[in-house]
Amino acid sequence: MDKVRKLVLTTWRPVLQVTRMCCDAKVKNLVAFPEVDIGEGKLKYILAKVYVHGEMGQSKTVIRGVPRVKYHLDVYDQLQKEANKLDLCTQCLGGGIMVHDNDKHYIKIYGRSQTLGRADHHEAREVLHEHDKYSSYKIDAESGGQDA
């Protein structure tokens, strides 16, 4: 039994090390992935989860908002491209409208996406408050509101 064990350990140890390095790189990419990237003015935004493939337990909630796009799916496509470059997966949680006034330190979140559904605006507000840049902002999140 010891001979078999030694053989198995010597052959599997390098495989496990390579697997661990691969997973560690993906987790590092997830940790380094920016949580908030929004423009200024009135914009369509999405709330999404970014995660390592097969490991939804290790995920990060992110917000992306882009002014002058026609559809929320365009914003989600940009997020998917950004995540795919780092070998990460995404799951959209919904969308809405955001009005971002950088001068007044004010953000208003409302509405819904026709295609992606309504994002949890209160969760979006929490993600923004946790971000260093927007922690001092006044953020209004409406549960109702206009359609996008």
- Catalytic residue, chosen from 53, 72, 121, 122, is 72
> Would the annotation count 85 as a binding residue?
no
Range 109-130 burial, b when 16+ CB lie within 10 A, else e:
bbbbbeebebbbbeebbebbee
d(CA 148, CA 21): 43
Is residue 72 annotated as a catalytic residue, yes or no? yes
Binding-site residues, in ranges, read 44
Active site residues: 72
Binding-site residues for substrate, in ranges, read 44
